[in-house]
Structure 1
Amino acid sequence: MDFFKEFALSFHPLSEDGIERIFNLLTIKKFPKGYELVSLNQTPVNAYILKTGVIRSYSVEKNKEHTKTIYTPISTSGNLGALIKNEPSTLVYECLTDCEVLECNYKDFYNLSLQHHEISIFHYKILQSVYIREEAKILELQMLDATQRYKKLQENYPGIDNLINQYHIASYLNITPVQLSRIRKNFIY
């Protein structure tokens, strides 16, 4: 409960009752490396709060994987667009390491937010943070070169090189593994 309370209060000052109502919807789950939280074309029903580990979302085009987002603790994960629209996912959400998450049925959470104003605001604040995170990623791809994007990744996720495969990092940066190798060779730690 302490972990969730800290997470929740970082978004919005919920009452103890509000925290407890949301917490009652959560299930603590552990998933092994390689587990798909959401598979391609699966209609997801759950959202996740990542407590430990690393998750990535990726798309597949012409049999090539393109990493969209890397999630590290403490963050939310899950295909929000597919959850909201109740549609099949165009992304895969995969555990890159063993992960511990808080799992929540999105419809149950949404219905709870309709009944309680403070939970509705909390929901809105989470949606805002997801939007801001995704907008920042788009701007980074447009405005920064590959070396700058790698440096920013290192700042945002210290030690990421030791946690996940280099080809996942290259895909996230929208470069080839060879380009990443060259950047890392010249990168001053």
Structure 2
Amino acid sequence: MDTSLFIARECYVYRVPPRTSAGGYRASEWGDVNKSLWKGSLRIVEFSERCEIRLEDPSSEELFAAAPYDISGKAVEAVLDSSRYFVVRVESDQKQSAYIGIGFPERTEAFDFNVALQDWTRRRKSAMQGPTDSGPKPSPHLPAGPRQDFCLPEGETLNVKLPALHSSGGATQSATRKGFVLPPPPPSSKHT
């Protein structure tokens, strides 16, 4: 069963000249980006253990080109001079490959395309590692050690003194002039 991870209704395909340096591709070297070779939709499709980028005709869903994508991420390369364009390694059924440029009309679509590929890669790597005996690993962003309880004990209160500005209006008016008003404390639920 296949699952669509990302769909762009509009995607452009460009002819990519051979790379002239190891530095990477530039969309500005593709000629006029307003003149694409093909225009259609793009889908990222997840199969059981693999992922594929599919360029399809939006009305007939006929396949124009497909790019197998694996966890190495080598099938897709961002260009150096724009966040909306990428170079994709497409492959035919006979395993012949070619590099094409793709572009999105909006940066948000390009961002979502990139995030969908990164998310699939992260999930696939996690699945390949398999379950561990010690269970899930904690986030490296959380402090190590037992959780500390910073709740106030029953009946204990916390007093906060706010400095008052010296004016005729008192502390409440000075707080209001700064843009906030502190509400009175809630009534106590205990009756003594």
Above 0.5 in TM-score? no
Higher helix share: 1
Report the TM-score, using the length of structure 1 for normalisation. 0.26
**Higher alpha-carbon Rg:** 2
